[in-house]
Structure 1
Amino acid sequence: MSTDDSPMMNRRTLLAATAAVAATPALPALARQTASAGFVRREGMQFTLDGKPYRYVGANLWYAAWIGHEGRLARELDALAADGVTNLRIAASAEWSPLKNAVRPAFHDQDDAYNEALLTGLDHATAEIGKRGMKAVLYLTNFWEWSGGMATYLLWSNGGQYVDADAPWPDFPEFVSGFYRSPEAVARYHAHLRRIVTRVNSVTGKPYAEDPAIMGWQLANEPRPGGTDGNVDRTLPDFHAWISGTARLIKSLAPHHLVSTGGEGLKGSMERPGLVLSSQADDTIDYHTAHVWPGNWGWLDRTDMPGTHARAVALSTEYVARHVELAKQAGKPLVVEEFGYPRNGDVYDLGASTSMRDDLYSAIHNAVLASAREGGPLAGSNFWAWNGEGRARHPDFRFRSGDTAFLGDPPHEPQGWYGVFDQDVSTRRIIRDHAAALAAL
């Protein structure tokens, strides 16, 4: 790993910076200011791009920076563009961590030594996305362990104590919620945020903050205020302060870009509609997000997929509809930015059918189309995730330390569980058809 040449921030400076952000007044004018051509804007419940409605079919490609120096990146983006995908959600962080499933390499470590290959990989990714007229949404840390994330900032700040994600539920989310209450952990995260948001792209020479290829920034992947009602109630003031303070910081650095939390919606908010609304009420949060995981939430019994599939799709459709109503109450756009489903039989082999997954994709896409036709807030979707030409390297479909064949299924998950491969003809056809239908509106 190499250390980049910008000045390091010591602990006192970091804490002072965080205090200054917390004291910064709200910046609603920045959220609404007129941006130059090519930037996605929020106007009420709609996104616009150069004066026209902006709706999209998107994919999650979290590992884009990790393959940024490879020819594979261009091939994957070309395949996605051919299917009508115009929006990519990617990781702009990973912390070097002792957590068992944390991806390697990471962007930076406890001493703030940065991996230049990943930084320039992110440069290449945003440059290639921009070349194709696509837009990127970059998230800046992770509530979960697979990229280090909040748990790692916390252990860097508390003397090395941590709870790993294999602990009994809800020990891990309860531990991670301490991040919001730790000024030092938040300050270290803000230092990384500043480094990325203010970076000048080494490929294009353009500052990230002035790059219209970037639609927006997300505070984190799936930030939650905790794992139990009691702890959530104690954490909420700090959680809300972290959201508003961080969003204001991003807006001060990149006023042309949108900001969202990256949250799951109701499932990440203890099923409380009021918490969804309060966590995204600040005007610096431009749009709502929702994630849909029927196989992880017990809606789909993965040991009896044929018997529970219809129920899982129905509950997923209802879940999206509930978030459409919440977005209407908030007067903001909504994106279903993660949704995933296993291959038939809950197996990972490429020979297994994707017909049940295709049903869920169609249901999500139909919801986007219905909302678009009535002028509603649901503006786009990002399926989880694109595996493309990536393939599992081991017979047990498990990622192992040192592997470089990154897939959309993160290192803690079986490789091939939820990701869409380049050979998944029926799923790709559904994506292309949806893109055409959106474009025809």
Structure 2
Amino acid sequence: MFKTTREVDIRNGPSFAAELAGKVGADIEVKVTGTPIEAEGWIWHNVEGPGNLWVSERPVGGNDASANLLWQGTGPRPTPTAKAAPAVTYPKIEGDFTNKVLLEAFQKTAAGLGQPAMVDTWLQQAGIPWIKNVQLEYYEGVPLEQLPNLTDEVKLAVMMQVILLKSAEPAVSTIGTSAPPEEEKPKKGFSITNGQFYLNGSPFKFVGVNLREFAWYGFPGSVTQYAQPQHQDIQLDVAKEMRARVIRMYAPFSGSDAQTAIKKLEVALDKIHKRGMFALVTLDDSKGSGFNVPCDGGRYRVPAAYNAAYFREGYRQTYIPFIKTVIGALKGHDGLFAWGVCNEAQVHPHPPVDPPDMLTIAEEFFQYYKYVTALIRDLDPNTLITTSIESCHHLFVEHAYEGKNYADKLYKLPTLDFATIHSYRDREKYDNPIGHRAIEAIREADRAKKVWKKPIIMEEIGPVGGFFNDLGRSNGGEWIAGALDQLFNQYGYSGVMQWGFQGTTDNIGAGDADSGMHKGGGGIPTGDWNSMFNAYQQWGRKFWP
């Protein structure tokens, strides 16, 4: 844990880098305030990389050694762009870790310039004498002669990293205003660090349930029109007994409007929060469930699903106004865990016919998520955002992992906080221990950990055969127990959510008779309710005692 040792207002301190280093203990935290466009003659830059690092470029009009190091290109030196600095945390950089980072930075520079012999000269000029005689032959495993030159912009960023590391020497004196040490205050709400969820500063994992229609229980025309308000309480109480911490529900109903949705969602969120639970609110459904934002069906739908034109242009007609209204009214609610963009977005029919080029469609999907998530983040900066997709392969098909690699492009968006997978016990692959999307579930969990640096959850999962006697469901609990063990223990999932949950003793039209778990009533009880309940509860108690 870091302890706050000083607070720096760079408008009053000529050297932010000096404050960063300071003469402090083994761990430091520096909170930056002020707008670092120009402070006491210094220009400030945001360095791309872990921790959102900032570095001073050079004194304005100055001619020191660092100014020469920052530009190794040809032609006139570009004018850099300064950005505003948020409050950020900087761990102290020293010892072997410093050496490792320096070597990586110089490898990138040498690869870009094709002049590894200059590294020693740069080290000396930068005042870093402890690394000498650096011999560079490869950059990320590729011979230098096979690499194209990096752009001047990339070279500049790399050299700024070098100056930052130089400035992080413990010997640099402290300049500027300071505050007395104080104990670190836990972050309030949800956050993500090192690819893991945190709630109020403590690690957060969960089991949960999908209650798609929950906000709309009893509403005329919906599939749960015969449900009563007390059924919401029963559902939540049974889910809480199972230690389900997150409830997923859909925001819209096609037979209503945004203002009604706000009222329904607010009631639902209040009930969920009252029990110490949280909601993942999915803002649309690409399928024809009825829990979707109404749109021009003639232009933007094939039967029961959105077509390619919807994700190219149609969503701007009704979806954008809907989410602006709903999120604007509900942002900051203590019962919110995350916003989900759209349930199982995918081109329909599939394979697509409009337009025929799947690469074009993949790019349109990416632009859709880029635009929508940026808007959601602007509307509600403090709530997490996810896709609610089945998998990247389901969305982008052959362009998910190869070629353009849209899986990485998508989840490297800073406005997407975690990844989702939907996987069910499949009739054709009945014995697969984590469902029909097992290959994607494993592959994308690995990408989430190593590349995206973000959590991943199994947003929907369920056995099969609840109402269909050909397969039966006597062992649904055994299958779910095995899936939970693999997802949490082997593949590093942060959450798993059962699809279709009806904890009432009568049929209220909720859940899924095939893949859900039903306590009873209405002719659709699943015989493995108890075993499934126990499997989820066992894991839920680990996360929420």
TM-score, normalized by length of structure 2?
Answer: 0.57
Work out the CA distance in 2 between the residues paired with 1:235 and 1:318: 23
Q: In structure 1, which of residues 357, 360, 380 is the aligned counterpart of residue 479 of structure 2?
A: 360
Corresponding residue of 1:129? 272
Work out the CA distance in 2 between the residues paired with 1:264 and 1:41: 23
Corresponding residue of 1:177? 308
Pairing of 1:230-245 with structure 2 (within 5 A): 230-245=356-371
Report the CA distance between 1:369 and its aligned residue: 2.8
Matched position secondary structure for 1:309: coil
Unaligned runs of 5+ in 1: 1-26, 96-105, 109-113, 166-171, 200-207, 302-307, 393-404, 410-415
Corresponding residue of 2:241? 82
Report the CA distance between 1:220 and its aligned residue: 0.5
Corresponding residue of 2:384? 258
> Which stretch has the larger CA shift, 280-289 or 429-438?
429-438
Superposed CA offset, 1:124-179 (max 9, x none): 110010001111010111111112637x42437x4xx74213xxxxxx5xx62211
Work out the CA distance in 2 between the residues paired with 1:262 and 1:314: 17
Unaligned runs of 5+ in 2: 1-82, 90-183, 219-227, 521-528
Pairing of 1:47-126 with structure 2 (within 5 A): 47-67=197-217, 70-95=229-254, 106-108=255-257, 116=260, 118-126=261-269
Corresponding residue of 1:325? 446
Asked if 1:408 is matched to 2:511, the reply is yes
Work out the CA distance in 2 between the residues paired with 1:363 and 1:254: 37
Matched position secondary structure for 1:289: strand
Cα distance change, pair 438–354 in 1 and its aligned pair in 2 (3 A): farther
Work out the CA distance in 2 between the residues paired with 1:79 and 1:381: 17
Superposed CA offset, 1:86-141 (max 9, x none): 0011100122xxxxxxxxxx333xxxxx573x542221110010001111010111
Work out the CA distance in 1 between the residues paired with 2:394 and 2:233: 35
Work out the CA distance in 2 between the residues paired with 1:59 and 1:315: 19
Matched position secondary structure for 2:416: coil
Report the CA distance between 1:313 and its aligned residue: 4.9
Partner AA of 2:418 in structure 1: Y
Work out the CA distance in 1 between the residues paired with 2:282 and 2:544: 27
Q: Is the 8 A contact 1:31 1:284 kept in 2?
A: no
Cα distance change, pair 292–29 in 1 and its aligned pair in 2 (3 A): farther
Work out the CA distance in 1 between the residues paired with 2:232 and 2:435: 36
Q: Is the 8 A contact 2:445 2:492 kept in 1?
A: yes
Report the CA distance between 1:31 and its aligned residue: 13
Work out the CA distance in 2 between the residues paired with 1:223 and 1:193: 16
Higher share in helix: 1
Corresponding residue of 1:153? 295
Pairing of 1:167-246 with structure 2 (within 5 A): 176-182=307-313, 185-199=315-329, 208-225=330-347, 227-228=350-351, 230-246=356-372
Report the CA distance between 1:434 and its aligned residue: 1.4
Report the CA distance between 1:61 and its aligned residue: 0.6
Corresponding residue of 1:369? 488
Work out the CA distance in 2 between the residues paired with 1:31 and 1:186: 34
Corresponding residue of 2:107? none
Q: Is the 8 A contact 1:333 1:379 kept in 2?
A: yes
Q: Which has the higher contact order (CA 8 A, sep 6+)?
A: 1
Asked if 1:388 is matched to 2:503, the reply is yes
Corresponding residue of 2:170? none
Q: Is the 8 A contact 2:342 2:388 kept in 1?
A: yes
Q: Is the 8 A contact 1:85 1:435 kept in 2?
A: yes
Partner AA of 1:325 in structure 2: D
Cα distance change, pair 314–177 in 1 and its aligned pair in 2 (3 A): closer
Aligned length: 342
Report the CA distance between 1:29 and its aligned residue: 8.6
Partner AA of 2:380 in structure 1: A
> Which stretch has the larger CA shift, 318-327 or 137-146?
318-327
Corresponding residue of 1:164? 303
Cα distance change, pair 242–317 in 1 and its aligned pair in 2 (3 A): closer
Work out the CA distance in 1 between the residues paired with 2:457 and 2:464: 21
